[in-house]
Amino acid sequence: MTYWIITIAIVAIALCVIAIVAVGMRGSLSEKAPDFANIMANTARHLNGDAEPPQGLVDFFEEIPDMRPKSADSASESTKR
């Protein structure tokens, strides 16, 4: 059963990538669906790291406490071991 869920997830991701390439990145379908093309182009910019993250996402990660040790603390811990 798990294999089917994983297969469906992989196919869904592949279809999203195809949609981004075919529509959002000035593909042949961008003239037929300009609104969808803008959404896909914006998604492509986010995936490439060219766009600023959405404010809701930034707010979400600011609310999560940072549980990682500081880099200076972790360096001194590794020498104690």
Say if 73 falls within a structural domain.
no
Quote the pLDDT of residue 78: 54
Say if 59 falls within a structural domain.
yes
Question: Into how many domains does the chain fold?
Answer: 1
The pTM assigned to this predicted structure is 0.45
Question: One digit per residue, pLDDT tens: the chain, 81 residues?
Answer: 788 999 999 999 998 888 777 665 666 666 777 887 788 778 778 878 888 887 888 888 887 776 667 766 555 555 555
Say if 46 falls within a structural domain.
yes
Say if 75 falls within a structural domain.
no
Torsion of CA 47, 52, 55, 61, to 10 degrees: 70
b vs e for 36-47, b when ≥16 Cβ sit within 10 Å of the residue's Cβ? ebeebbebbeee
